[in-house]
Amino acid sequence: MKIRQGRWWHGAILAGWIAAIVAAAVYLARPVTYPPPPPGWTIWREPAAVRALAIAPDGVLCGGLRGVFRLDDDGTAVAVDVPGLLAPPAVNALLADTRGYLWVAHDEGLAIRGDAGWTMLAEADGLPRGRVLALAETPEGFVWCGTAGGLIRLPVGGPWDAGHMLRMTTKDGLLHDRIFAIVRDTEGGLWFGTYAAPDGGLSRWKDGRWSHWTLKEGLPHPNVTSLMLARDGRIWLGAEKDGLSIRQGRRTLRILTPADGLPSWEVTAIAQTGDGAIWLATLSGAVRISAEAVNALLGAPPGRGEGAHE
């Protein structure tokens, strides 16, 4: 016997779909609650995915998929206009140099705010093709730029044309041309974090010689996302989906993960202010850890998050 499905059956299906849509809308519209941050921590959940940090005269700046923002002490983020960029600009790195210039590395090249206003640099000006991903200033008066096509070195105050750019790639000794992080150590060596699993890691250049640290030497992950030289001389390191670590001698000690309060496993930028506080950019917001909380953290057994990497 064949059963005929009448209008009531189709109405029931339609009612079920409507109920499911309403339930999903209610679920998505509900207020998001987060656990309280650890003592001494401040977390800016907006502007969401943060890739860059800079300690500037007018405050701490962050950048990411939604542009550049100033992080205020009350937990708010205020947009900073960068003319000439795509909207919204994808900002990958920020630098406030010693001359007071603001450098913005983005997916189309570089924007530099100097005494005469903004200067825009792109492939036509001599930059490698692709994104600019990292920035670091050295006492010798240069800004090093990590890109998807190797390294570029520019004079801090200009000129910023192709004739004044030094370029370095794997042909010169880098592990890989995709440079996500740069830092200068206390001995004058330059560290370059590459993002090129499984063959990436850290390249160090000093006095014209290269040395490399990869998974074989104890790095937690071959995709290095951030580097910072702390005031105590140790190098802080973020790696893809691996939280925050400290480079101590030839050991890498993991110190922070989401279990300790990080909003995300991926730390994309690290900075330290004059008061000793540590600032972190993550894929789920920005973090400030007070100097007291940093001292307490470093006084704890190293590697408490997931163990130390030898």
Give the residue-averaged pLDDT of 212-233.
88
Could you read off the pLDDT of 270-305 as tens digits, one per residue?
Answer: 999 988 999 999 989 899 999 999 988 887 544 433
Could you read off the pLDDT of 82-97 as tens digits, one per residue?
Answer: 876 656 668 999 999 9
> What is the residue whose two structure tokens read 């079920």?
16
Query: What pTM, to 2 d.p., does this model score?
Result: 0.82
Residue 268 in tokens = 């994309």
Task: Give the list of residues 6+ apart from residue 244 with CB closer than 8 angstroms, or none.
Answer: 236, 237, 238, 254, 255, 256, 257, 262, 267, 270, 280
- Using alpha carbons only, how large is the chain's radius of gyration in Å? 23
CB-CB contact of 192 with 179 (8 Å): yes
Q: Is 218 left (phi over 0), alpha (psi -120 to 50) or beta?
A: left
Instruction: Catalogue all structural domains in the chain, each as residue range(s) with its CATH number.
Output: 40-309 (2.130.10.10)
Could you read off the pLDDT of 31-78 as tens digits, one per residue?
Answer: 456 678 889 999 988 777 889 999 988 889 999 888 888 988 877 888
**pLDDT for position 250:** 66
Beta strand pairing call for 308-309 and 251-256: antiparallel
Question: What is the C-alpha to C-alpha distance for residues 234 and 168, in angstroms, rounded to an integer?
Answer: 26
Distance, CA of 219 to chain centre: 18
Residue 71 in tokens = 């992080």
**pLDDT for position 114:** 86
**pLDDT for position 196:** 86
**pLDDT for position 86:** 59
pLDDT averaged over the chain? 83
